[in-house]
């Protein structure tokens, strides 16, 4: 007996209502042994960028073959296509609205299918809840062993959205931005830790505050002090020891971070 792969869920549905559970009921009806893992249901409503970042952050930690379902879907019921993306590492099911753009950039994509075959949807598909009516049943059928080829035709032109990218400035500085503020108020930037070599001191400028030196962990500074470090996602992170950098700097995703070498 082989266990089916896990199915993960990322949505902006919250956990107060029936939406997420309806999807899980559908999945269990088709693939009863699938482990269902909630990544998060607290994506800001319709924030495709945030969903793409969270998916990117968890991806390396799931076993090969995991099926990731993302339902952040402002265009539900319109012409946007429902799709499934197959890479060497995993499978992704959701709307063709760019939420998988980081996957296309970072992974070896083998196939993308337009989910047009109603045999793998619920019998009645609503106009407002494809998570339950299309994405959950397709994910469960894939977990149960259905071949991608039956789901619908291959497409070659998935929608992509641009991501803010950091840039090297002529004076040796790096200009990036905060892309995520976590529950502790730690500010995660888009600047890879590897861009900063260890031969120089660096100064981190954000919201009229300057932090000197790249630290290794939070406890390298005194309680209450701000700290810059290479975070657990491999990205430069601004934090406050025993506090919330987001709140105390009054900063959210989108804020500019400048990293300057020692002069």
What is the binding site for a copy of itself (CB under 8 A)?
1, 3, 6, 8, 12-19, 21-26, 28-29, 32-33, 35-42, 45-46, 54, 57-58, 61-63, 66, 74-78, 126-129, 132-133, 180, 182-184, 216-220, 229-233, 237, 242
Main-chain phi, psi angles of 144, to 5 degrees: -80, -5
Rounded CA separation 237/233 (Å): 9
Rounded CA separation 240/117 (Å): 51
Tell me the closest approach of the beta carbon of residue 9 to a copy of itself, in angstroms. 10
Q: Do the strands 67-71 and 82-87 form a parallel or antiparallel pair, or are they unpaired?
A: unpaired
Nearer to a copy of itself, 163 or 184 (CB): 184
Tell me the closest approach of the beta carbon of residue 135 to a copy of itself, in angstroms. 13
Tell me the closest approach of the beta carbon of residue 76 to a copy of itself, in angstroms. 6
**Cα distance from N-terminal residue to C-terminal residue, the chain:** 63
Nearer to a copy of itself, 112 or 188 (CB): 188
Nearer to a copy of itself, 80 or 114 (CB): 80
Tell me the closest approach of the beta carbon of residue 132 to a copy of itself, in angstroms. 7
CA distances from 246 to 145, 170, 181, 201 (A): 44, 29, 7, 24
Residue 21's Cβ-side half-sphere holds a number of Cα atoms within 13 Å equal to 4
Q: Using an 8 Å Cβ cutoff, are 257 and 188 in contact?
A: no
Tell me the closest approach of the beta carbon of residue 111 to a copy of itself, in angstroms. 23
């Amino acid at each position: 007996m082989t266990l089916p792969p896990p199915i993960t869920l990322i949505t902006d549905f919250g956990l107060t209502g029936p939406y997420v559970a309806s999807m899980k009921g559908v999945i269990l009806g088709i693939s009863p042994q699938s482990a269902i893992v909630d990544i998060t249901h607290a994506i800001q409503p319709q924030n495709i960028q945030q969903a793409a970042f969270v998916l990117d952050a968890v991806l390396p930690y799931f076993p090969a073959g995991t099926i990731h379902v993302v339902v952040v879907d402002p265009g539900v019921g319109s012409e946007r296509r429902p799709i499934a993306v197959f890479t060497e590492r995993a499978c992704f099911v959701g709307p063709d609205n760019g939420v998988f753009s980081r996957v296309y950039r970072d992974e070896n994509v083998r196939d993308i299918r337009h989910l047009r075959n109603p045999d793998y949807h619920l019998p009645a598909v609503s106009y407002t809840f494809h998570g339950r009516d299309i994405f959950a049943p397709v994910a469960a059928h894939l977990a149960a062993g259905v071949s991608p080829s039956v789901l619908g035709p291959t497409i070659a032109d998935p929608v992509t959205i641009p991501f803010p990218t950091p840039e090297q400035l002529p004076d040796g500085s790096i200009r990036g931005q905060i892309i995520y503020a976590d529950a502790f108020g730690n500010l995660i930037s888009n600047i890879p830790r590897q861009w900063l070599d260890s031969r120089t001191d660096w100064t981190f400028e954000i919201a009229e505050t300057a932090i000197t030196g790249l630290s290794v962990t939070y406890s390298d500074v005194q309680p209450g002090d701000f700290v810059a470090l290479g975070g657990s996602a491999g990205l430069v992170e601004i934090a406050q020891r025993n506090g919330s950098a987001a709140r105390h700097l009054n900063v959210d995703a989108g804020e500019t971070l400048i990293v300057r070498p020692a002069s």
